[in-house]
Structure formats: structure tokens, C-alpha cells
A and B are shown apart, each in its own frame.
Chain A
Amino acid sequence: MTSQLRVAITGIGTISALGNNAQESWESLRNGRSAIGPMDDPDLAGLRFHNAGVARNYDPTAHFTPTAIDHLDRFAQFAVIATREAVLDAGIVWTDELRQRTAVVTGSGVGGQSTQDVGFVSVYKRGRDRVHPLTIPRTMANAATSQITMEFGVTGPAFTLSTACSSANHAIGMALQLLRSGAADMVLSGGCEAPLSFGLLKAWEAMRVVAPDTCRPFCKDRRGIILGEGAGMLVLEPLEKARARGARIYAELAGAGMSADASHITQPTVVGPVRAIRAALADASMSVEEVSYINAHGTGTSGNDPAETAAIREVFGPLADRIPISSTKSMHGHALGAAGAIEAVATLLAMRESLLPPTANFTEADPLCDLDYIPNVARPAKVKAALSNSFAFGGLNAVIAFRAISD
């Protein structure tokens, strides 16, 4: 195999129910503190479920001018905030050339839903004959990517992709390819989502996959997902360039693997995730023995958790029993298109801190879920290599692989 360009992660940023930045998020993760709670919004009464991973302490006015708040839906606000943190964290010194050679790739499953909801309520319910003129620029799924390009004046390849719950992992995977292909020298990549609007919540309610209590991945008494919101963003650049500029390196983004189930629009298979995990390992030239942590997709649904467990067993064989696995969705909820990015940040912090975040709210394991899910309490462990899984509705799977940098 020809040697591939190695890619480093030099900056991280995140905002979610866990906190408004990586530090706050880590405090929640390391303490196994679930941020799931009541949505506390009278407009959301009349739902069968009332809990979510809400970015409760987020105040847009602390981050944006009034005009910017007019122009950015909540999901794009999250993206810009997380990117600001990641860019600052990476210590990027912008030059004209670097701006031209920097790409932006974000994932979003549903775009500016709350903006769309307001417009639809206006015409469908209130009998108005028009919606606010900023509805389109706020709602479009690529708004976050566009706002990031404008914020930093970066003019390289920029796009958004949408694969439901795998959006962020697909985005990060594509970012890796942009760097390897030479199309960009730096990529700002991750995902963002703000899906807690009444119309969309009603749609989730109708799917009967949202838990009325909390998210208990892999547990016998799990009752479904808990929706979340937020963003995660990474700064990716060639390892040698990162080293040359003396950047702090969280880890190597060693590989990405993708697959399609081609089976059912919502029911997951085992074989699809197996193929994505194997593809990620192969892309990263990573052996099964190397992997010492998996951040699971772990949604807490009846469908995902046994299928994901079976997929991990099939790929890792007897080694599966020795690999600690956790679903941090138990703490931040399922942020759909942002999920993979929030979980990438969690994984990178776990690698840096040598502490594995737990699966919170853990009660009793489902007999069909018989791996080590790090129940409730974070566990000290040196992580040489980690995987982060995302398996979307629609059977679209994306797994990313991180490797610790040896000094």
C-alpha cells in the first residue's frame, strides 16, 4: 500500500447540552453527568416526551450581534461558535494563502428546523400569506458552512452533506479525503444541529423511538433515543505541517470507513456497520488489536444497540470483550447531524486525558448487549487508537478512526 498523507487534529470546539465549550463538556463527560433534562418550553407541551439534551446555558447575545442573530438559525450559530473555539484552539495564523487553501465541510441532518417551523406556522396555522424573507438563508442546510467561510474568510472547497445521524462522520471522512487528495491544506469539519422545534419533535414522536425518561444505551430497560442539539468542529491539517508549525496535536485522524445497508430505511443491519468499521480500520491501516476505545453510536433504541453490539463482535471477535465502549449520547442526547462531531470531540478529549467517558444512566445490561459499556463511571485508560461509530437512518454508516500520536 502506498503511504498516505497523515492528517492531524489540531483544534477542537463544541457546544451542546454538556456545555458551551470543550472544557465545560469534558467536565460533564468525565463525571458521567447526563445533561438530559426537561425542555422547559411551554410551546413544546403536548408531546409524549419532555426531555432532551438542551444547550441550556447558551445565550446567543453573548456570541453574536443582533443582526447576526437575525441571519443565523440556532444550528448555524452552534457551528460558528464551535468553529471559533476550534480555530482558536489550533492557534491558526491566517494568511491569504492559507485562507484560500482551507476547506469547510459540515454535516447537518435537518438544517434550520426552528426557522422553518416558524414560517410554516405562519402560513399554515396563522393564515398569513407569507413567511419571513430570511427563512431560506436561515434554513438551508449549508448555511452553517457558508457562515463559517464568511466568519474566517476562508475560500477553499466548502460544502455540507446530510446523512441524518451519520452526517458529521461523513463530513469528517470527506475532510480527510480533501486533505489526502491535496484539494486543501486545512479543513474545518464537523457537524451541527438544532432539531428541538415542535414540528420536528412531533415527527420524532410519531416514529415512537423517543424515550419518555432518559437515554440508557445498551440497557435492558432502555426506551429509545433522547434528542439533543449542538455542534462539534475539528481543525484538520497534514501531520507534517502541524508538526512544522509546532501545533498541539490531539491525535491523528487515521481513517474513515463508510457503507450503506441497502436494506431498510430505518431498521439497521449488522452487516452494514461491520463493513463500515472494517473499512475504517483498513483505511487507517489499524489492526483490531490496536483499538482500545470505541465511542458507540449507542442510541438507546431497540434496533441499534443489539445490532451495533453484534457488529462489534463480528469485527473484533473475542477481542470485543476487552474493548471498552461507551455511548456519550447518554449524556448529551442524540444531536443527529452533529452527533458524530460531538462524539469525536469527546473521543479526542478521552485520548488526551487518558480517561474514558462512561455510558451514563446505565441500569442493567440487555442480554443482547454483552460488551463492556463503561457503566456510569469514567475509567482511566491509555488510548492508543479509537473508533467513533455513526449509523444513520437510511442505513448509511460512517466510522472514523483516531490514533494517538507517539512523540
Chain B
Amino acid sequence: MPDDLAERVITTLATVKHIPREQIKLQSSLADLGFDSLDTISMLFELETTFNVSIPDESARSIRYVHEIVDGIRQLQAATPPAAAPSPE
């Protein structure tokens, strides 16, 4: 079952791709969900904003599946001390 962090990742992906969140599973690949290169960079941007992390380019390039994104965000959050929340856009 997706936990809270996974749910927020799925919501972010659904928002970026303009698709129903029910369509997105942890096992889904970005390719299956129809993410092209622009969708992917937009997703990375939104993930960085949502979770207040910085996703390195090398990690970004290797992401294929939704569960990899969830794991990656979890690791980044664990490695990074909580920063001040970003100001609203």
C-alpha cells in the first residue's frame, strides 16, 4: 500500500501529466504513463518543490518507475536535514 509520501508523489505525477491519480501505481513506469522528456523535467521540478529536495541529474536520468521515485525522495529526505519550508509561489 502506498504510504503518505508515495501518495504525495503520485499526486504530483498526476498533476504534472494531467491524468487521474488512480492510473498511477507504484509499479508503473514513467514510459507506460506517457511521460516524455518535457513531462519528466516538469515532474522533477514539481517533486523538488513539493518535497524540498534537490534531485541530482544522475539520479534523475536513471529513474524509470514510480517506486524508484518514492524511494529516491525518501533517501534524499533522510540525507538532508529539514530546511525551512519554501515560500508559497
A residues near B, CB below 8 A? 65-67, 70-71, 122, 126-128, 130, 132-134, 137
Contact = CB atoms under 8 A, between A and B. Distances in A.
Given A66-B18, A67-B17, A133-B42, 6 more contacts: A70-B42, A71-B38, A122-B89, A130-B45, A132-B42, A134-B41
Contact of B18 (A65, A126, A130): A65
Contacts of A126: 87, 89
A71 B16 CA distance: 11
B41 to A, nearest CB: 4
B87 A67 contact: no
A51 B28 CA distance: 50
Contacts of B71: none
B21 to A, nearest CB: 14
A255 to B, nearest CB: 41
Contacts of A130: 45, 48
A332 B47 CA distance: 41
A302 to B, nearest CB: 41
B81 interface: no
A222 B86 CA distance: 47
Contacts of B42: 70, 132-134
A37 to B, nearest CB: 28
A126 B48 CA distance: 16
B87 A133 contact: no
Interface string B6-46: 00000000000110000000000000000000100110110
Given A67-B18, A126-B87, A128-B86, A133 B48 contact: no
Interface residues on B, range: 10 to 19
Contacts, number: 25
Contacts of B44: 133
Contacts of B17: 67
Contacts of B48: 130
12 contacts: A66-B18, A67-B17, A70-B18, A70-B42, A126-B89, A127-B87, A130-B48, A133-B41, A133-B42, A133-B44, A133-B45, A134-B38
A30 B87 CA distance: 49
A67 B36 CA distance: 12
Contacts of B18: 65-67, 70
A132 B86 CA distance: 15
Nearest to B37: A133
Nearest to A65: B18
B38 A137 contact: yes
Nearest to A70: B42
Given A65-B18, A66-B18, A67-B18, A133 B38 contact: yes
A65 B18 CA distance: 9
Nearest to A128: B86
Nearest to A137: B38
A126 B87 CA distance: 7
Nearest to A67: B18
Contact of B45 (A66, A71, A127, A132): A132
B52 to A, nearest CB: 11
A65 B45 CA distance: 21
Nearest to A129: B54
Nearest to B87: A126
Contacts of B45: 130, 132-133
Contacts of B89: 122, 126
A132 B45 CA distance: 7
Nearest to B15: A66
A70 B46 CA distance: 13
Contacts of A132: 42, 45
A116 to B, nearest CB: 16
Closest CB pairs A-B (n = 9) = A133-B41, A66-B18, A133-B45, A67-B18, A133-B42, A126-B87, A132-B45, A134-B42, A134-B38
Nearest to B48: A130
A133 B42 CA distance: 6
Contacts of A133: 38, 41-42, 44-45
Interface string B47-83: 0100000000000000000000000000000000000
Nearest to A127: B87
Contacts of B86: 128
Contacts of A65: 18
Contacts of A127: 87
Contacts of A70: 18, 42
